[in-house]
Structure 1
Amino acid sequence: MKRLLVPALLCSPVAMAAADLDMANKIRHEGFHQSQVMHTLEHLTDNIGPRLTASPQMVKANHWTLKQLQDWGLKNGQLHPFEFGRGWSSESASITLAGPRQQSLHGIPVAWTPGTNGVVSGDVMMFDVNTVSDLAQYAGKLKGKILLMGEDLKIEPPKTVIFERLSAKTLGDLKDYEPGARASYQSFMTNALRDSRMQSYKFNQALSAFLEKEQVAGVIYRSSRQGGLVRVFGKSHKQGETFPVPAIIIEQEDYSLLTRMLDRKEQPKLDLDIKARFHDDDMKSYNTIAEIPGTDKNAEVVMVGGHLDSWHASDGAVDNGAGVAVAMEAVRILSKLNVKPKRTIRIALWSGEEQGLYGSRAYVDEFFATRPEPKDPAEKALPRYLWSSPGWPIQPKAAYDKLSVYFNMDNGSGRFRGIYTEGNIAAKPMLSDWFGPYSDLSTGTISPLSTGGTDHESFDDVGLPGFQFIQDPLDYSTRLHHTHIDSIDHVIEDDLKQASVIMAGFLYEAAMADKKLPRKPMPTAPSEVQQQRLDLETEKERRTRELEGKKALETKVVY
């Protein structure tokens, strides 16, 4: 086999095992000229469609991906279960302005909210509340009403670039470490922010009870995107916490129309018809798992994955059908080439990512490492982000030392431009080397920075090497992320082919390397000195929030 040789004086001992060029040639040929990545994505989006966690379509996606991986020759396939909660799906939804004139509006139901059981008609009413004490003023006034959930905001001229590829300058900036940055495993959730989120959590509980008691007909939320885009979200999927009334998200422009009518004392009337249902036959959700077994005795493991679940507004092509299709294509390529890796190559297609990394966290917790949970039952019942501590110390399991690396894709469908190392500078030589055979496809930027919001965090948070690739943003964040136009029409086929080839190359090299990828030190609880600094910063943040709250109350105009 050919090896890309690097002079010994220019590299560390770890970097000496250079990339396999013969295998890179084979991977490139299969990935570019025999690609199935778009065929896989088309089935996920056109045939299966939206894949909300625990929905019937998500279950269908689990079974289809498992069968497809097995048909490609992968072994030890399984659906890995974890506790989640209620399933939900919506067949259709319509919202119509019935008066003072007639017009069809555009809206999508909020996930995990009930349907209307037929057409529901009602007067529109502004409902602008921020605290539990604000609710009292509406008591006895809301029966049969359809509520606008908060004042409208002025639609400003757009300033964002819709479609973008990363510039040389941006990629260069990503190479610089930020000494003041928090550790990759350290949560952004400060104690002060947690206090604020706890207040919101308790307020939403009180709000749900109030809306049910007042027999509200339905509620309407304003989309967080303008230009006709409906960006969706969901309420609680936990049994016993279901939002009690039908809820729908509408375009900013439609929301503004209704608020202007109210301002002019022209009472708008709406007809709502939402067909939605809950699925409670199985309170678990599932990850799809399969692998190419390693040849070493008691083989170590290399993993690749992305989240299979999506939101319900669209087909979930870029978030994250693209990542799933690339991960599947990478292992398909290697299986087709009949590779015999030293380490097992395992693919994991996660569920529950959109609700808080449920699937990947459950998998890591079961097989790699656990963290102590709150001892107080009341705290344990809260969402994980409201726990007072992530749990120390981390407790590794038997498989902890067997994992070499986990590679993730979940930043849209843009091509790979490099990789985030989450501060793991010891991994840089190997990762740089593996980009070598693909230097004509990618700049191969190795960034010491951290990126969050997706499933590699579940691994990195317990000290395991988990990496997300740097990708061209395209129009992922500006108009596709969680909106109703996240369809395959916005996916660029050549970008997915490029990502699949590089992913397959990285998996092969990681599986064949002489040693596992280097690791950072095991995450630990803050030292006494660091905790004192964090407590001081928290107190300052709390005082700032209190002052801002008082200022807002003093300047609020009451009509």
Structure 2
Amino acid sequence: FLMGEAWSGSQIKQHLTELSDVIGPRWGGSAEDRRAAAYIRDQMEAAGVDRAEVEPFTLETWNHGNVSISLSDDNNRQIAALPFLRCKAIDLTTPLVDAGHGSPHEVAVLGDRIQGSVVLATIAPEPFTAPEPFSARIVRLAEAGAACIIAIEPKTGGRMEYANSDEWLNVGPQKNAVAVVKTSSEDGAYLRRIAGGSPRISVSVDAEYFDAEAHNTVAEITGSTHPERHLILAGHHDTVLKSPGGNDNTSGTIGVMETARVMAALVKELGVRPGMSIRFATWSGEEQHLQGARSYVARHYSDSSESREEKPLLNINLDELSTGHMKGIVLAFPHLRQFMQSQLDTMDDGLKCHVLSHMDAHSDHFPFVEEAIDASITWRWRFWGRHENANFHHEVGDAANKLNVRELKEYAGQLARLLLRLSHVAPEDWPENPLTISDVNKMIEHDAGGHHPAFH
């Protein structure tokens, strides 16, 4: 029933049209973000879940106006420019210094030349060296005195995507970090060709920080045997500025919505309920340091919260599902590995369970991890099976056509099958979570600042 309903009853195209084409870019805290939350709640209600709500929270947000890079000594020749997310306002003209990849030996050679200059740096790590995240190299350049950093986009053809300049594992939203502005691969190569002559370069960013109301959505199907306990399937509905987010993350949002619809249909048509309750959530503010999921976790699961409730046994996070078909589940903590694999084996589709080797803060599973709650992501594209035509996120080109409709139907069916199985395992029969928040904090501090690709 579940797989059949996921295919024959699919509303993916309707949701895709509304979210990516009609509403469009959904930056957290914007009017479009609010419209998306209202739409998702209404659709959840129409699907027949037991409750569907919008939950507001205060978002520390940011926006920018005009951004420019120009060559003062070349008739103000314009260079492609896009600020990093949360880039502070800046307006300066200084000599351009090429710092290569921003590696330690390159910074050492430049010495005092970096002080007060606009520094050009490649985002990709230096070949044949120990890889460093760009955030660590940004800190190195800032400590050497860079007034601003121009980062060269690795994608070619004039594409530029919004990026983040800071470490998300243990650093919250910043306002005073060094300004980082991206340029295209092609313009970056041009700047590199002329940098030897120390041309004067002007960088201007109009930006502001402010608070805004943003909105999460939460729906639930009540369990039949253990309604007081729950699992949670979630993904973020916000996007970066100017991006319709077909892949990132309309795909994950619709994955949540369609899985909820399929499981609600199972209740309506066959009277089959999950054993534990299942929540279906979409978060705002993911692109702004995971603020929506973090707000929800703090409000509902933190020991200090007045409205604290029982923690979920598992969070499954859906993000960028169009990058590859579902291959399995990747856990943040290892103690559920055998249990999860045994459940996947009953589905007989070759799905595998793996465990991340490091703390990963790239998506909304992480606020659950911080609270020592078992959390996971779907295995989509790492190692094999990546769809290059869906290699779009944080950019204008991540439009509705980047969503893979056929594979998203499979995701909804498979996730419904898995959640139904997990929900009917009594809470006392789940492996005990041995980790405390203190344990997790130590793991986070150990991994902060390291090069840890998101293996999903």
| Residue of structure 2 equivalent to 1:230 | 160
Contact kept? 1:228, 1:251, Cα under 8 Å: yes
Contact kept? 2:120, 2:150, Cα under 8 Å: no
For residues 264 and 457 of structure 1, do their structure 2 counterparts lie closer, same or farther at Cα, with a shift above 3 Å needed? closer
For 1:341 and 1:351, how far apart are their aligned partners in 2? Answer: 27
Shift of 1:471: 1.4
Task: Give the alignment partner of residue 175 of structure 2, picking from 238, 241, 244.
Answer: 241
For 1:27 and 1:418, how far apart are their aligned partners in 2? Answer: 18
The one-letter code sitting in structure 2 at the alignment partner of 1:301 is H
| Residue of structure 1 equivalent to 2:191 | 258
Matched ranges for 1:350-389 at <5 A = 350-370=283-303
Matched ranges for 1:105-124 at <5 A = 106-113=80-87
- Structure 2 residue 228 is the aligned partner of structure 1 residue 299: yes
| Residue of structure 1 equivalent to 2:412 | 500
| Residue of structure 1 equivalent to 2:250 | 321
For 2:144 and 2:282, how far apart are their aligned partners in 1? Answer: 33
Segment drifting more, 443-452 vs 325-334: 443-452
For 2:138 and 2:243, how far apart are their aligned partners in 1? Answer: 32
* Secondary structure in 2 matching 1:309: coil
Matched ranges for 1:327-346 at <5 A = 327-337=256-266, 338=268, 339-346=272-279
For 1:97 and 1:435, how far apart are their aligned partners in 2? Answer: 60
| Residue of structure 2 equivalent to 1:428 | 338
For residues 106 and 242 of structure 1, do their structure 2 counterparts lie closer, same or farther at Cα, with a shift above 3 Å needed? same
For residues 151 and 357 of structure 1, do their structure 2 counterparts lie closer, same or farther at Cα, with a shift above 3 Å needed? closer
The one-letter code sitting in structure 2 at the alignment partner of 1:110 is F
The RMSD of aligned alpha carbons is 4.8
Task: Give the alignment partner of residue 149 of structure 1, picking from 97, 119, 128.
Answer: 119
For residues 67 and 256 of structure 1, do their structure 2 counterparts lie closer, same or farther at Cα, with a shift above 3 Å needed? same
Contact kept? 1:54, 1:88, Cα under 8 Å: no
* Secondary structure in 2 matching 1:480: coil
Contact kept? 1:420, 1:450, Cα under 8 Å: no
Shift of 1:203: 4.4
For 1:512 and 1:137, how far apart are their aligned partners in 2? Answer: 61
- Structure 2 residue 24 is the aligned partner of structure 1 residue 49: yes
Shift of 1:334: 1.5
Once the two structures are superposed, residues 233-261 of structure 1 have per-residue CA deviations (whole angstroms, 9 ceiling, x without a partner) of 2579999936798x742202112213424
* Secondary structure in 2 matching 1:86: strand
* Secondary structure in 1 matching 2:309: helix
| Residue of structure 2 equivalent to 1:61 | 36
- Structure 2 residue 314 is the aligned partner of structure 1 residue 405: yes
Contact kept? 1:82, 1:285, Cα under 8 Å: yes
The one-letter code sitting in structure 2 at the alignment partner of 1:126 is L
Shift of 1:99: 7.9
The one-letter code sitting in structure 1 at the alignment partner of 2:120 is G
* Secondary structure in 2 matching 1:310: coil
**TM-score relative to the length of structure 1:** 0.61
Structure 2 residue runs of 5 or longer lacking an equivalent are 100-106, 450-456
Shift of 1:136: 9.3
The one-letter code sitting in structure 1 at the alignment partner of 2:218 is I
Structure 1 residue runs of 5 or longer lacking an equivalent are 1-25, 139-146, 158-192, 212-217, 372-394, 542-559
For 1:295 and 1:74, how far apart are their aligned partners in 2? Answer: 14
Task: Give the alignment partner of residue 399 of structure 2, picking from 480, 487, 492.
Answer: 487
* Secondary structure in 2 matching 1:400: coil
- Structure 2 residue 388 is the aligned partner of structure 1 residue 447: no
* Secondary structure in 1 matching 2:27: coil
Contact kept? 1:112, 1:243, Cα under 8 Å: no
* Secondary structure in 1 matching 2:286: coil
**TM-score relative to the length of structure 2:** 0.72
For residues 46 and 424 of structure 1, do their structure 2 counterparts lie closer, same or farther at Cα, with a shift above 3 Å needed? same
| Residue of structure 2 equivalent to 1:546 | none
* Secondary structure in 2 matching 1:291: strand
Shift of 1:263: 3.7
For residues 490 and 457 of structure 1, do their structure 2 counterparts lie closer, same or farther at Cα, with a shift above 3 Å needed? same
Shift of 1:304: 0.5
For 2:141 and 2:187, how far apart are their aligned partners in 1? Answer: 30
For 2:141 and 2:57, how far apart are their aligned partners in 1? Answer: 26
For 1:269 and 1:198, how far apart are their aligned partners in 2? Answer: 21
- Structure 2 residue 394 is the aligned partner of structure 1 residue 464: no
Shift of 1:72: 2.3
The one-letter code sitting in structure 2 at the alignment partner of 1:415 is H
Shift of 1:36: 1.5
For 1:114 and 1:62, how far apart are their aligned partners in 2? Answer: 29
Contact kept? 1:462, 1:522, Cα under 8 Å: no
For 2:388 and 2:302, how far apart are their aligned partners in 1? Answer: 33
For residues 205 and 362 of structure 1, do their structure 2 counterparts lie closer, same or farther at Cα, with a shift above 3 Å needed? farther
| Residue of structure 2 equivalent to 1:544 | none
For 2:22 and 2:252, how far apart are their aligned partners in 1? Answer: 17
Shift of 1:476: 6.7
| Residue of structure 1 equivalent to 2:453 | none
For residues 526 and 89 of structure 1, do their structure 2 counterparts lie closer, same or farther at Cα, with a shift above 3 Å needed? closer
For residues 260 and 128 of structure 1, do their structure 2 counterparts lie closer, same or farther at Cα, with a shift above 3 Å needed? closer
Percent identity between the aligned chains? 22
For 1:462 and 1:512, how far apart are their aligned partners in 2? Answer: 24
For residues 476 and 422 of structure 1, do their structure 2 counterparts lie closer, same or farther at Cα, with a shift above 3 Å needed? farther
Task: Give the alignment partner of residue 415 of structure 1, picking from 314, 325, 343.
Answer: 325
Matched ranges for 1:180-219 at <5 A = 200=139, 203=142
Rg larger in 1 or in 2? Answer: 1
Segment drifting more, 74-83 vs 327-336: 74-83
For 2:346 and 2:197, how far apart are their aligned partners in 1? Answer: 65
Aligned residues between the structures: 417
For 2:346 and 2:334, how far apart are their aligned partners in 1? Answer: 19
* Secondary structure in 2 matching 1:468: strand
For 1:503 and 1:462, how far apart are their aligned partners in 2? Answer: 24
For 1:206 and 1:494, how far apart are their aligned partners in 2? Answer: 51
Task: Give the alignment partner of residue 238 of structure 2, picking from 297, 309, 321.
Answer: 309
For residues 412 and 482 of structure 1, do their structure 2 counterparts lie closer, same or farther at Cα, with a shift above 3 Å needed? farther
For 1:87 and 1:459, how far apart are their aligned partners in 2? Answer: 24
For 2:418 and 2:187, how far apart are their aligned partners in 1? Answer: 47
